[in-house]
Amino acid sequence: MDPRTLTPAFRALRLCLHLLMAGLLVLAAVRAHSPAGTALAVAVGAVYAAGSLIPAVGRSQRAAACWLAVLGLAWLALLCATPEALWLAFPLYFLQLHLLPVRWSLPAVALTAGAAILSYVGHGAALNPGVFIGPLLGGAVAVATVLGYQALYRESERRRRLIEELIATRAELAAAERHAGTLAERERLAREIHDTLAQGLSSIQLLLRAAERALPTGSPAAGHIDRARQAAQDNLAEARRFVRALTPPDLEHGSLAAALERLCEPGAGPRARFSVSGTPVELPTPYEVALLRIAQSALGNTVRHAGADRAEITLSFMDDAVALDVVDDGRGFDPEAVRPAADGEGFGLPAMRSRAESLGGTFTVESAPGQGTAVAVTLPLPAGGAA
């Protein structure tokens, strides 16, 4: 394992393992009572130290297995020299469980415990239950400790990743809310400018034109009225420019029909089709915004709630009105059941209805469980065309 990735708890455990191994090697060297035993203890220590210094041991299972094999052979040689070396089996358990996969580490622990028991018996020690229970119990404790720590570490990592995902999702939601709030404010300002300033200037221009016609030809006041009417016309054009600048991005680079057709492009939802009926005419910006938002909301409901295979959006231009229909073949619902949800929930129907009614239009929903859904909105065309 790369030392830079170790947690403080794991660093402490590794330090304890180093100290345990060093202490047991010193004990084995002292109790060996022979130069060969001392030399073998030093050899085992050198092999162990080499594993800590070689980076590949912590990064590659193949390198770790080779190192453990050499360390195990050196330990077996030390076992033949002194029975005190059997205590080294305990740190070996932890090394095997940490560096090897479970399918290899468990047999390695079992073999290490068996070698410790056989070496103790081979040195002529009297047989007693402790000879077998000690190494076996130590191996069981090591297995439970390492596997338990690994399970806790995996759970901790899973929670850490989950927290990171939640933080990222919260940031995305906050950005989406800010974006939605910006778009809503743009639409509100565009609607206010259109419904108040632009309409007022248009009315002033009409009144001035009527006053100009009522004056005698050549009247000195006619020139002032003409300049006033021109100023009103210039300011009306400026107000319309502001309204266009505040148009949603979907309408900035194309018509309403093009924006609705883009909604039907293939995606994760049902197959959608767009069609236009009648002769298209230029619509006021608030009309285009309202129809686009209603279509987006209705199609969004189809994706989230309807489970539909097909959907169709139809934009119809009539002599005195424009209509939008969004129809799907989904599971449907009971409109009466969601009508009381006037807080903005309930499939977004209240918000769509409010948009239509704010422009003097009508909004209807036809649906029944298992029979799909049809959303229809009709807006009366303003006299004199787009304002």
| Contact status, residue 77 vs residue 14, Cβ threshold 8 Å | no
Question: 234 falls in which pLDDT band (50, 70, 90)?
Answer: confident
pLDDT at position 3: 44
Mean pLDDT of all residues in the chain? 77
Among 54-63, 193-202, 266-275, 313-322, name the one with the lowest average pLDDT: 193-202
**pLDDT digit string (tens) for 292-351?**
888 888 887 777 777 778 888 898 988 889 999 998 888 888 777 665 444 444 447 787
Which of 347, 357, 337 shows the shortest CA–CA distance to 300?
347
**Cα gap 138→93, rounded to integer Å:** 8
Token pair for 242: 């502001």
Sequence ranges of the domains in the chain: 3-127, 177-245, 252-380
pLDDT band at 387 (very low <50, low <70, confident <90, very high): very low
- 47 pLDDT band, cuts 50/70/90, is confident
Q: Record the tokens describing residue 271, joined without a space.
A: 């197959």
The Cα–Cα gap between 326 and 283 comes to 19
Phi-psi category of 219—alpha, beta or left, where left has phi over 0 and alpha has psi -120 to 50?
beta
pTM above 0.85, yes or no: no
User: What confidence score (pLDDT) does residue 135 get?
Assistant: 78
Quote the pLDDT of residue 324: 92
Instruction: Pick the range with the lowest mean pLDDT from 54-63, 149-158, 231-240.
Output: 231-240
Give whichever of 134-138, 243-247, 306-310, 318-322 has the largest mean pLDDT: 318-322
Task: Tell me what pLDDT residue 10 has.
Answer: 67
Q: Give backbone dihedrals phi and psi of 333, rounded to 5 degrees, phi first.
A: -165, 175
| pLDDT for 165 | 86
The pLDDT of residue 343: 41
Percent of the chain with pLDDT over 90: 3
3-state SS string for the chain? CCHHHCCHHHHHHHHHHHHHHHHHHHHHHHHHCCHHHHHHHHHHHHHHHHHHHCHHHHHCHHHHHHHHHHHHHHHHHHHHHCHHHHHHHHHHHHHHHHHCCHHHHHHHHHHHHHHHHHHHHHCCCCCCHHHHHHHHHHHHHHHHHHHHHHHHHHHHHHHHHHHHHHHHHHHHHHHHHHHHHHHHHHHHHHHHHHHHHHHHHHHHHHHHHHHHHHCCCCCHHHHHHHHHHHHHHHHHHHHHHHHHHCCCHHHHCCCHHHHHHHHCCCCCCCEEEEEEECCCCCCCHHHHHHHHHHHHHHHHHHHHHHCCCEEEEEEEECCCEEEEEEEECCCCCCHHHHCCCCCCCCCCHHHHHHHHHHCCCEEEEEECCCCCEEEEEEEECCCCCCC
pLDDT of residue 344: 41
- For 146, other C-beta atoms within 10 Å of its C-beta total 20
**Of 48-52, 176-180, 242-246, 369-373, minimum mean pLDDT range:** 242-246
Let me know if domain 252-380 sits in CATH 3.30.565.10: yes
Reply yes or no on whether the pLDDT at 377 is more than 90: yes
Q: What is the CA radius of gyration of the chain?
A: 41
Give yes or no for residue 243 having a pLDDT over 50.
yes
Specify the pLDDT at position 77.
85
Q: Which pLDDT value is given to residue 323?
A: 92
How many residues are there in the chain? Answer: 387
Q: What is the 3-state secondary structure (H, E, C) of 181-207?
A: HHHHHHHHHHHHHHHHHHHHHHHHHHH
Local confidence band at 33 (pLDDT 50, 70, 90 cut-offs): confident
CB neighbour class for 22 (10 Å; exposed up to 12, middle 13-18, buried from 19) = middle
pLDDT at 302: 79
